[in-house]
Amino acid sequence: MLYAQVHLTLPPWVHDEVDATRLYPDAASRIALAIDLSRRNVTHRSGGPFGAAVFNAGGRLIGIGVNRVVPSNCSAAHAEVMALATSQQRTQRFRLNEDGERITLATSSQPCAMCYGALIWGGIDELLIAARADDVQTLAGFDEGPLPADWSGELEKRGIAVQRDLMREHACDVLRTYGESGVVY
Ligand SMILES: [Zn+2]
């Protein structure tokens, strides 16, 4: 029998440990949440060391994501895709900024080749990144895949502003903890 649906879920701890009511007014608070999600995902062993979150212009949290590849047996279940997808389901929009609202995606690590494409189609205006692809490779052993040489310039051309290296060391701490654990989850 062929499967006709895909069911992806965030871990149960998100309901107890993420404050969905507070405001995240600036880049620092938004990237801090993405990194905090990555750390909690490692602590709970509920997926790989990556977290992401989507915010509206006022700093309201629309959706979050953590890596769920291993628990879901789904290679697409990266943190950025999970954050975009849960936000799209909540707002019932496949392009999150279609009504002109400025949408921000914050992610604990530079998006991989797949997430790079996903964020272009997801309808965001701003991308906030903590760790670099090199950090992910060196500290946690993940290949981020091929990106255009001028990947951030290609985003800017499409109206997506990019800020990099935000709280990079904090994100690297999580990647290092995961890498040194020797456990794959
Ligand atoms: Zn990815």
Domain boundaries, the chain: 21-181
Query: Rounded to the nearest whole angstrom, what is the distance from the C-alpha of residue 62 to the centroid of ligand 1?
Result: 19
CATH architecture label of 21-181: 3-Layer(aba) Sandwich (3.40)
Q: Give the per-residue pLDDT at 163.
A: 98
Among 135, 160, 130, smallest CA distance to 30 is for: 130
For the chain of 185 residues, list the mean pLDDT of each consecutive stretch of 10: 95 97 97 98 97 98 98 97 98 97 98 98 98 96 94 98 98 97 82
Centre of ligand 1 from the C-alpha of residue 17, in Å: 23
For ligand 1, a single-atom ion, the residues with CB < 5 A are 78, 112, 114-115
The C-alpha atoms of residue 178 and residue 41 are separated, in whole angstroms, by 10
pLDDT of residue 58: 96
What's the CA gap between 17 and 48, in Å, rounded? Answer: 18
Query: How far apart are the CA of 107 and the centre of ligand 1, in A?
Result: 10
Give 101 Cα–ligand 1 centroid separation in angstroms.
24
Name the H helices within the chain: 13-17, 27-43, 69-72, 79-91, 113-122, 133-135, 151-157, 168-181
Residue 142 sits at φ, ψ, to 5 deg, of -95, 135
Q: Which residues contact 127 (CB under 8 A, 6 or more apart)?
A: 104, 105, 106, 107, 111, 119, 155, 160, 161, 162, 163
- Ligand 1 centroid vs 113 CA: distance in angstroms? 7
Å from CA of 130 to ligand 1 middle:
14
The pLDDT value given to residue 184:
79
CA of 78 to the centre of ligand 1 (A): 5
Q: What pTM did the predictor assign? A: 0.97
Q: Is 75 exposed, middle or buried (0-12, 13-18, 19+ CB in 10 A)?
A: exposed
For every residue of 79-94, DSSP letters joined together read HHHHHHHHHHHHHT-S
